[in-house]
Amino acid sequence: MQYQIDTSHSGAQFKVRHMGIAFVKGEFDRLRGSVYFDPASPDATRVEVIIEVDSISTRDADRDHHLKGADFFAVKEYPEITFRAQGAVRSGDGYKVTGDLTVHGVTKSVVLDVTAVPPEVKDPWGFMRRGLGASTSIDRRDFGMVYNLAMDGGGWVLGNKVEISIDLEMTRVDEQQSAAAAT
């Protein structure tokens, strides 16, 4: 079944080690895309998620401005992060979805660990919905983001491992089209 991502009920979050003692967390407020998923045929899964980098928020305007600049995301040159996948394989109660992640103009293959995908539910407006959560980790240097600062006592201000989580709520497309045609 084809699903459209419900942008107002979905999000992409990340966290990265800061000075080796804590994590800085952030999120992207705007994402869109679609997912084709049939639990009977996970190998037929198709995913496209597009994240608008300019929507980054770490709750610190100065840090957000720096992240949007040339040292990190270079949002003027690379305004979107994309994930595109074809196929999924069962893994325990969930799935592993391998796809191409493009960040900062660099594309690498990554594996998303998708938690159990609950059955569809019918919302109060008659639409069929499904949700899922996915996570992965990447090395930011693999995507050309090498900026860092050395600390006086040794070590670096920023960790290289970035943990990513995505929460999606989706509406079945054929239901949307049927409802729209009826009005």
Query: CA 181, 45, 167, 160 torsion: positive or negative?
Result: negative
Answer yes or no: pTM beyond 0.75: yes
Return all residues near 97 (Cβ < 8 A) that are at least 6 apart. 45, 47, 85, 87, 88, 111, 112, 114, 134
CA–CA dist 122, 52 (Å, integer): 29
Domains in the chain, start-ordered, CATH in brackets? 2-178 (2.40.128.110)
Neighbours of 15 (CB within 10 A): 19
pLDDT band at 175 (very low <50, low <70, confident <90, very high): low
CA–CA dist 82, 11 (Å, integer): 14
Residues of the chain above pLDDT 70, percent: 95
Which tens digit of pLDDT belongs to each residue from 39-74?
A: 889 999 999 999 999 999 999 999 999 999 999 999
Residues of the chain above pLDDT 90, percent: 87
Q: How many residues does the chain have?
A: 183
- If you search the block for the tokens 């992240």, which residue do you land on? 67
Q: And the tokens for 173?
A: 């497309």
Return all residues near 83 (Cβ < 8 A) that are at least 6 apart. 47, 48, 49, 99, 100, 101, 102, 110, 112
Find out whether 64 and 57 touch, Cβ atoms under 8 Å. yes
